[in-house]
Amino acid sequence: MGDVDASDADEPHHPEVDDVDPEDDTPKEACGVFGVYAPGQPVAHLTYLGLFALQHRGQESAGMAVSDGESITVIKEMGLVANAFDERMLVALSGHLAIGHVRYSTTGSSVWRNSQPSYRDVGGIGFALGHNGNLVNTRQLADEAGMLPGAVASDTDVIAELLSIELGREGAHASLESALMEVVPRLEGAFSLTLQDADHLIGVRDPNGFRPLCLGRLDNGWVLASESPALDIIGAVFIRELDPGEMVVIDADGPRSSFPFAAERTDPTLCIFEFVYFSRPDSRLYGRSVHQARIHMGEQLAEQMPVDADMVMGVPESGLPAAEGYSRRSGIPYGQGLVKNRYIGRTFIAPSQELRAQAVRMKLNPLRENIEGKRVVVIDDSIVRGTTTRAMIKMLREAGATEVHMRVSSPPYRWPCFYGMDTGTRGELLAANLSVEEIRDFLGADTLAYLSLDRLVSAIDQAGTGQAGFCDACLTGSYPVEIPVSLGKGVLEGELLVPSDARGRIDDGVRVLPVDEAAAIGARRAEAEAEDRS
């Protein structure tokens, strides 16, 4: 267990009132992975739909790899799933198995070079890889692989290189499955992987189970996905979650399991923020409904931190179930107090400096007729930097709220995550540097209260039965896998920086699509790279 002492924290950052980005008050997502083995079915279309269901987990880039049994085609683009693929492209991607990925960067910059799936070809064995998580020993592994700092783009790049080396070492008897058995025990940190070669779909989950990965069944095939709604959307039946430390290999004979980490298996530590914020409300984790868990969080919050008020309201979207629970338990009527602009979405970039004061209103706008003259309880799932929450509270007062009581359905967010979530440095985390009363004063709320950790766990337990263990390092500073004290996303980007002329080398072995398809893809790729260089 690795604990980080407060003395090692970065210098605190004190946000200004107009230093507003509508996304700053929420942790940034991990990634989403998907895979399907379904001979005779349009696997590219199924992957497209599966990625749509996982879009909330990453909006920077989207990609898929499709195998027809002889070669693998990889297509990946910057932006949302809807922008990355079109119908002609999906029709051209024929095959019997595929993997897909949506990305939010946790290690490596947000450029096309780092989009996934990653592809390698070693002695005629091609494979593609998608990764959700973050390794904490990336630099060590890169050194072991003989990779210079300028040749490494991300931790996913390192995993692909290690597999390539192992496949080369195995020679004529090489297989992706045997290479994984040698490589994955060397990985430290968080990783849920989907991989494929010409005829096998493979899923791997790290021995702590930091990030989710589940298995589903089609009429004539099998599916792997970060979350269960990706199964629902294509008509697959949820079978189970992969166990921590499990590897599942799927081929014509169906799935088979092994445990490369068998000697090191630990109690599972799923990221607790999968329940608080990351996962879709219609997902099931640990056999528990995420939506019900969030309602129970609100109920627990009402019991622990009651207040006299006229209306309970939630911050859209993830704060709404907890607000429903708070209202139910407290008896205070629930109402809609904020309207969200759905067309800005999670990819919205804050405008130029002169428009920052209006940035929050571009995403959220108060319903004056519901708020005016009322004491309101505002429920949100978390507060990271506080700038957006502060601007929102100011808007509610301007809309006529007589009192604004802030309630948060998770404990104070005090420590950065190194297991697949981008939270910034400790100096940027409001609760790492201020007391609850100081935070209340900064936000401008009449009162502020957080849900305690024990009640958060209790709320999740209420949503189901069976074993449930969590990583709560961002709340406690107690890290299940030891990390270098200086480690962080920015540090890793500096160590793993890739020269601009290295972009695209990872995909040199990809089969070329028909000319008109390839031309369209190439044009979009050139535009994306031009934006990266500008």
Catalytic residue positions, numbered: 31
Identify any residues that bridge with 202 across adjacent strands, giving them in sequence order. Answer: 195, 249
Q: Please give the Cα distance from 306 to 321 (Å, whole number).
A: 17
Nearest to 34 by CA among 59, 51, 58, 55: 51
**Could you tell me which residues come within 8 angstroms of residue 108 by beta carbon, excluding any fewer than 6 positions away?**
114, 153, 154, 155, 156, 157, 492, 493, 496
What is the H or E stretch that residue 221 is in? strand 221-225
CB 357 within 8 A of CB 333: no
DSSP annotation of 334 reads B
Is residue 219 part of an annotated ligand binding site?
no
Q: In this structure, what token pair is assigned to residue 32?
A: 């989403």
Q: Please give the Cα distance from 506 to 147 (Å, whole number).
A: 14
Q: In this structure, what token pair is assigned to residue 147?
A: 């990779």
Is residue 417 part of an annotated ligand binding site?
yes
CB 214 within 8 A of CB 225: yes
Q: Please give the Cα distance from 425 to 416 (Å, whole number).
A: 6
Is residue 143 part of an annotated ligand binding site?
no
Q: In this structure, what token pair is assigned to residue 299?
A: 């109920």
Q: Which amino acid is at 412?
A: P
DSSP per position, 262-317: GGG-----EETHIIIIIS-TT-EETTEEHHHHHHHHHHHHHHHS----SEEEE-TT
Strands laid side by side in the 254-258 sheet: 118-122, 125-135, 189-196, 201-205, 247-251, 254-258
Q: Please give the Cα distance from 251 to 97 (Å, whole number).
A: 9
**Could you tell me which residues come within 8 angstroms of residue 196 by beta carbon, excluding any fewer than 6 positions away?**
35, 65, 67, 72, 97, 98, 99, 127, 128, 202
Q: In this structure, what token pair is assigned to residue 432?
A: 């790492």
Q: Please give the Cα distance from 36 to 215 (Å, whole number).
A: 10
Q: Please give the Cα distance from 280 to 247 (Å, whole number).
A: 24
Is residue 474 part of an annotated ligand binding site?
yes
Is residue 214 part of an annotated ligand binding site?
no
Is residue 381 part of an annotated ligand binding site?
yes
DSSP per position, 111-135: SGGG-SSEEEEETTEEEEEEEEEEE
Is residue 380 part of an annotated ligand binding site?
yes
Q: In this structure, what token pair is assigned to residue 210?
A: 């930091």
φ, ψ of residue 147 to 5 degrees: the values are -90, 125
Q: Is the dihedral of CA 119, 122, 126, 132 positive or negative?
A: negative
DSSP annotation of 384 reads S
Write out the binding residues for [4Fe-4S] cluster: 271, 417, 471, 474
Write out the binding residues for Mg(2+): 318, 380-381
